[in-house]
């Protein structure tokens, strides 16, 4: 049996009177690629952001490798080394090269010497197909390349799981393929990934499991062929028909 890396139980999150997450239960196993789909406002990104405490849940538990990260006194720096996060908007420092962006946390958080951090950073950038771009600044890179720097930054910390929050939605269509290719290679190398995205073709081809969220709950989940081929929930059928072009 695969080990559970991320275990979410009875998770609730509200913004004022607006309940965004209404008791989410979700377990992600080692090497699993789990895709979360659903319309805007269904709670997908909030769920992801609660998983590394960018948002604070009101109640419930989130266990990473058996440790409840919602407990008071959790070391957030240590936690975020275990849970990599790739954002929609890249979040790179414009005044730093690709390599410096990737090595910043290695040096500042892990206290790694510059030489060792640079070696690790170069390996991570090479892994995402940017071996030629170590010294490039973000404004010298395409959106797709910037996003791959973002992925390399997450990988350099050797996380147990990587969360992807709409990783391709800010990209021009022709740049999406390069990012999805990297994600597919990560999956093949055994990386555990939780992905919020509208890339249904990629979900169908690469995901082990697809989760459909609706109004703050998990309405349906299962293997992609089941979820896309034979959706049981009426809201899921509506959602899928609305995105078919």
Q: Is 80 exceeded by the pLDDT of residue 225? A: yes
Q: Is 60 exceeded by the pLDDT of residue 245? A: no
Largest CA distance in the chain: 55
Give the pairing of strands 209-214 and 193-196: unpaired
Distance CA 117, CA 140 (A): 23
Q: What would the pLDDT profile of 21-44 be if each residue is shown by its tens digit? A: 999 999 999 999 999 999 988 999
Taken in order 192, 172, 177, 136, the sign of the CA dihedral is: negative
Q: What would the pLDDT profile of 65-121 be if each residue is shown by its tens digit? A: 888 888 888 888 888 888 999 998 888 999 999 999 999 999 988 899 999 999 999
Rounded to 5 degrees, what are φ and ψ at 147? -65, -35
């Amino acid at each position: 049996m695969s080990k559970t890396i991320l275990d979410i139980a009875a998770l609730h999150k509200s913004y004022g009177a607006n309940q965004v997450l209404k008791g989410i239960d979700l377990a992600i196993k080692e090497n699993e690629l789990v895709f979360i789909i659903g319309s805007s406002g269904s709670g997908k990104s909030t769920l992801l952001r609660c998983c590394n405490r960018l948002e604070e849940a009101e109640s419930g538990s989130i266990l990473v490798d058996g440790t409840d990260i919602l407990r008071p006194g959790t070391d957030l720096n240590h936690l975020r080394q275990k849970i990599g996060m790739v954002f929609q908007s890249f979040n790179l420092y414009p005044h730093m090269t690709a390599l410096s962006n990737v090595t910043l946390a290695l040096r500042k958080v892990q206290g790694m010497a510059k030489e060792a951090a640079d070696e690790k950073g170069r390996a991570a950038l090479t892994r995402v197909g940017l071996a030629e771009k170590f010294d490039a600044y973000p404004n010298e890179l395409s959106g797709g390349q910037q996003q791959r720097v973002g992925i390399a930054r997450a990988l350099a910390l050797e996380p147990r799981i990587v969360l992807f929050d709409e990783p391709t939605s800010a990209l021009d269509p022709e740049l999406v393929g390069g990012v999805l290719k990297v994600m597919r290679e990560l999956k093949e190398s055994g990386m555990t990934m939780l992905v919020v995205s509208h890339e249904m073709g990629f979900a169908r081809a690469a995901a082990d499991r697809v989760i459909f969220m609706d109004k703050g709950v998990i309405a349906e989940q299962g293997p992609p062929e089941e979820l896309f081929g034979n959706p049981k929930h009426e809201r899921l059928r509506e959602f899928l028909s609305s995105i078919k072009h």
